[in-house]
């Protein structure tokens, strides 16, 4: 389980990554690096994000729903391409309404992981 400090650090790193380009990294690799995912497969990265968004213990309903949706995304799916990974993650984190840029998705994940966000500074 991630400590409050680790969750804040990861959320801060996600916010910085959202403001930058991915360079030569794929989204999956960037999320694995930023979240310190031990399993860097797409399933491992989604598990890590779910764990960070909803750590064991009490949580609010919105964070719980997104974490549940991330866990459900891993069941019975075969993701072969980085674009497909991003599309699945964007739909779960932000919604189905529209196409979303990486920075919007990363910022949303950061807000779910560390709801207080920049108020801690």
Q: Read off the tokens for 63.
A: 């964070």
Contacts of 110 (CB under 8 A, 6+ apart): 10, 11, 12, 14, 15, 18, 117
* pLDDT tens for the chain, residues 1 to 121: 567 778 888 888 888 877 777 778 888 888 888 888 999 998 898 888 888 887 655 467 777 777 787 777 777 777 778 888 888 888 888 876 666 788 888 888 888 887 776 544 4
- Reading phi first (left if > 0) and then psi (alpha if -120 to 50, else beta), residue 37 is in beta
Q: Which residues contact 15 (CB under 8 A, 6 or more apart)?
A: 106, 107, 110, 117, 118
For 121, half-sphere exposure in the C-beta direction (CA atoms, 13 angstrom radius) is 5
Q: Which pTM does this prediction carry?
A: 0.54
- CA angle (103, 47, 11) in 5-degree steps: 40
């Amino acid at each position: 389980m991630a400590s409050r400090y680790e969750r804040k650090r990861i959320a801060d790193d996600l916010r910085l990554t959202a403001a930058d380009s991915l360079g030569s990294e794929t989204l999956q690799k960037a999320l694995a690096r930023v979240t310190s995912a031990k399993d860097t497969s797409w399933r491992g990265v989604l598990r890590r994000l779910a764990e960070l968004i909803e750590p064991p213990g009490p949580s609010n309903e919105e964070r719980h729903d997104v974490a549940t949706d991330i866990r459900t995304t891993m069941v019975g799916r075969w993701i072969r391409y980085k674009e497909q990974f991003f599309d699945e993650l964007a739909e779960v984190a932000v919604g189905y309404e529209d196409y979303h840029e990486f920075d919007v998705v990363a910022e949303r994940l950061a807000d779910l992981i560390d709801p207080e966000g920049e108020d801690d500074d």
